[in-house]
A = this chain, B = another copy of it.
Amino acid sequence: MQTAVARPSARGVVGRTRSRAGLVVRASKDTCRVAVLGASGYTGAEVVRLSALHPNISITALTGEKQAGKPFAEVFPHLVAASNVGPLVKISDVEFADVDAVFCCLPHATTQQIIKGLPKHLKIVDLSADFRLRDVDTYAEWYGNEHAAPELQKTAVYGLTELARDDIKKARLVANPGCYPTTVQIPLVPLLEGGMISKDDIIIDAKSGVSGAGRAAKESNLYVEIAEGINAYGVSSHRHMPEIEQGLSDAAGADVKVSFTPHLMCMSRGMQSTMYVKLAGGATPDSLRAALSERYASEPFVRVLPKGSVPHTRHVRGSNFCLIGVFPDRLPGRAIVICVIDNLVKGASGQAMQNLNLVMGFPETTGLMQLAMFP
């Protein structure tokens, strides 16, 4: 189907059938050679999945300290078709001279240590929390360790693409946003900037799929512990809170605190934030919707639904899209804003790819035009 983005010419497949659908890793003029650090987790795997449809990315290294030496398709058999991707290696064994850019999918704290030691020619999109908070004291308070790279922190650009596109284009180090903060800031930042909602009465009830918890083997994330249920967690204490507040405070031009209650539910992918806001400056639910529609009219990945339409997490599964709905509240002077994304795509690896596209000068949607998978 023809879309606004050009798509595969499909030439070449004949001449290379001997390599089947395998992924060829090779550098060239239009190619960005990428290393994925921490590729044994779900965000790493998702970067590889998305890269498979990206014509300008060549993955030249996948790292995994504990599983170094294992074929990638053994770690993630669903990527069996990515047969030309090499085995996992240790970070210390990566030949960074052959790398142009890095997706960093490592845990926080470790991330700082690794990134500050990387060669300066590398562009970096970091999916951890390490460079998201401008204030290193806030970082230390919420993450429990002093920041090990405060100077580097100052150079990082917070990568909520739709809200910081121009800065991202010039960045060397992009701090890719958290999934919850993405669902909150995309709808609420324009409303706060426009003075359309009160900064003092923002209540966020969020629901997440389990993939956000990562691949570490924990009893609480076993199938039978999660299936057919929901529970709140980290009530008033989740680490994405300061990130949300940083973004909303910038938008409001004043200190914002939010009520934020995340819930873990029995789905693999998907995230919804249901936000209860107080109208300000004469705004109405309809005017909120209109303002968001206008703000995001030319955005490829953000869709504001028409009045009455409810976004479902199922409608964005596997895609980089973000859907927003605005509803009147029964309580006078209030509105309800709902935002859904796929936590692994727009909430992590998809937005990371979107950011890398900007950093490298590729069209922003390259490799990201997959539609949602339903059912």
Q: Are B223 and A227 in contact (CB under 8 A)?
A: yes
CB-based nearest B residue for A227: B268
Report the count of interface residues on A (CB-CB < 8 A): 133
Q: Measured between alpha carbons, how far is A318 from B77 in the docked complex, in Å?
A: 14
A215 contacts across to B, CB distance below 8 A: 219, 222, 224
Given contacts A4-B24, A58-B1, A217-B217, contact A228 B227 (CB under 8 A): yes
Asked if A21 is at the interface of the complex by the 8 Å CB criterion, the answer is yes
Asked if A195 is at the interface of the complex by the 8 Å CB criterion, the answer is no
| Interface residues as binary, A197-232 with B (CB distance below 8 Å gives 1, 0 otherwise) | 000110101010111000111110111111111111
Which residues of chain A from 359 to 375 have any CB-CB distance to chain B below 8 Å in the complex? 362-367, 369-375
Asked if A92 is at the interface of the complex by the 8 Å CB criterion, the answer is no
Q: Measured between alpha carbons, how far is A336 from B201 in the docked complex, in Å?
A: 14
Q: Are B300 and A10 in contact (CB under 8 A)?
A: no
Closest-CB distance, A102 to chain B (whole angstroms): 15
CB-based nearest B residue for A228: B267
Interface residues of chain A, those whose CB is within 8 Å of chain B, are 1-14, 16-26, 31, 42, 45, 48-49, 51-59, 76-82, 200-201, 203, 205, 207, 209-211, 215-219, 221-233, 235-236, 241, 257-261, 263, 265-270, 272, 274, 276, 298-301, 303, 305, 309-319, 321, 323, 325, 327-332, 334, 336, 338, 344, 362-367, 369-375
